[in-house]
């Protein structure tokens, strides 16, 4: 392996001119990452060696804007392809050590002697820029993951609010599981849109799968019932559980003025479908 450096007057030119030594140094330092370089390239079209050189040049040339933009792009790409933060952190530390290795040989070849103050100023500058890259990478990675989780949750919540037409004017909305502040907003949005799209005149909301709701969610649910009525649709509640009814009674809350209440979904379907044509 050729480790003879070619002399250059500028550190950025020195890194570019000695690219093969730069890459070999990276690979020798990266115990965990090196065996996965080809896998990462195939999985996400991410060339770690080229990107390491690009980051190093941004650092030594003090191109802060490009460094931050590059960090943000890298964060999105790594998150999109589900590459781990541990691998990235190790790789950046390898780049940090390699930059210092090159700075040492650059000074040696050019006869540069730095005093103590100059050295610590350089150390602060180089490490601060790399830390800035890491911080912006992590923020971008985290934001992408958070947005992905939110979009997936919204999709799941929309699928968990199925409005099922059972006749030309009657539809059923079975509610199951925990209803929190976020989910009640999804229920409100989905119900109003589907009432408009399907021209629903009666919406049967079966609550037999809801054991409990917090008081603030119950208050919001009452507003949803009001909104349904304002759309010209009659809300009908079935299957109210004793635990939920008890909580409402003690809190002085009632659905009676907002919606018709029935015992079971089966009873209600039989009653209303006998009045309507099948869908």
What CATH number does the domain containing 242 carry? 3.30.750.24
| Euclidean distance between CA atoms 148 and 135, whole angstroms | 20
Amino acid 276: pLDDT = 60
The answer to which of 41-45, 236-240, 265-269 has the lowest mean pLDDT is 41-45
> At a CB cut-off of 8 Å and minimum separation 6, what does 104 contact?
none
pLDDT digits (tens, 9 = 90+) for 173-201: 999 888 888 889 989 999 999 999 999 99
91 shares its domain with 188: no
Amino acid 153: pLDDT = 74
Q: Whole domain around residue 217: which residue ranges?
A: 164-273
Alpha-carbon distances, residue 55 vs 29, 105, 119, 229 (angstroms) = 17, 19, 21, 60
Taking the CB of residue 65, how many other CB atoms lie within 10 A of it? 8
* Last residue in a domain, options 152, 186, 206: 152
41 shares its domain with 143: yes
Opening angle at CA 271, ends 269 and 273, nearest 5: 60
Count of domains forming the chain: 2
Indicate whether 126 belongs to any domain: yes
245 shares its domain with 203: yes
pTM (2 d.p.):
0.62
pLDDT digits (tens, 9 = 90+) for 104-160: 999 999 888 888 888 899 999 999 999 999 999 999 999 999 998 888 777 776 666
* Last residue in a domain, options 111, 129, 152: 152
Whether pLDDT at 279 is above 50: no
Residue with tokens 């229920």: 187
| Euclidean distance between CA atoms 217 and 209, whole angstroms | 16
Q: Contact, 262 vs 238, CB < 8 A? A: yes
22 shares its domain with 142: yes
| Euclidean distance between CA atoms 262 and 247, whole angstroms | 18
Amino acid 2: pLDDT = 57
22 shares its domain with 116: yes
114 shares its domain with 75: yes
Which ranges of the chain would DSSP assign to H, the alpha helix?
11-17, 19-29, 37-44, 48-60, 64-80, 85-110, 116-159, 181-198, 215-230, 242-250, 265-273
- The distance from CA 164 to its chain's CA centroid, rounded to whole angstroms, is 31
Rama region for 215: left / alpha / beta (φ>0; ψ in -120 to 50; rest): alpha
143 shares its domain with 30: yes
Indicate whether 278 belongs to any domain: no
* Last residue in a domain, options 105, 125, 152: 152
170 shares its domain with 132: no
147 shares its domain with 169: no
Amino acid 254: pLDDT = 83
251 shares its domain with 120: no
- Evaluated on CA atoms 36, 38, 40, 46, the torsion sign reads positive
């Amino acid at each position: 392996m050729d480790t003879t450096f070619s002399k250059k007057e500028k550190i950025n030119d020195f890194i570019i001119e000695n690219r093969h030594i730069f890459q070999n140094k990276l690979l020798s330092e990266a115990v965990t990452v090196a065996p996965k370089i080809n896998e990462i390239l195939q999985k996400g079209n991410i060339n770690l060696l080229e990107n390491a050189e690009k980051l190093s040049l941004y650092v030594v040339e003090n191109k802060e804007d490009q460094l931050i933009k590059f960090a943000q792009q890298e964060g999105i790409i790594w998150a999109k392809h589900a590459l781990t933060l541990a691998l990235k952190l190790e790789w950046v530390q390898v780049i940090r050590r390699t930059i210092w290795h090159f700075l040492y040989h650059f000074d040696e070849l050019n006869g540069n002697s730095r005093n103590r103050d100059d050295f610590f100023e350089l150390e602060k500058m180089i490490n601060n820029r790399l830390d800035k890259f890491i911080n912006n990478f992590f923020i971008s990675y985290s934001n992408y993951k958070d947005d992905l989780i939110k979009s997936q949750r919204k999709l799941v919540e929309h699928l968990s609010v199925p409005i099922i037409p059972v006749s030309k004017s009657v539809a059923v909305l079975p509610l199951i599981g925990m209803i929190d502040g976020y989910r009640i907003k999804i229920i409100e949005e989905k119900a109003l849109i589907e009432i408009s799209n399907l021209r629903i005149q009666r919406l049967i909301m079966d609550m037999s799968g809801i054991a409990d709701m917090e008081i603030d969610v119950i208050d919001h649910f009452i507003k949803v019932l009001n909104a349904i009525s304002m759309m010209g649709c009659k809300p009908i509640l079935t299957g109210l559980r004793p635990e939920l009814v008890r909580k409402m009674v003690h809190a002085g809350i009632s659905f009676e003025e907002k919606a018709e209440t029935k015992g079971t979904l089966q009873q209600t379907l039989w009653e209303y479908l006998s009045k309507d044509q099948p869908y």
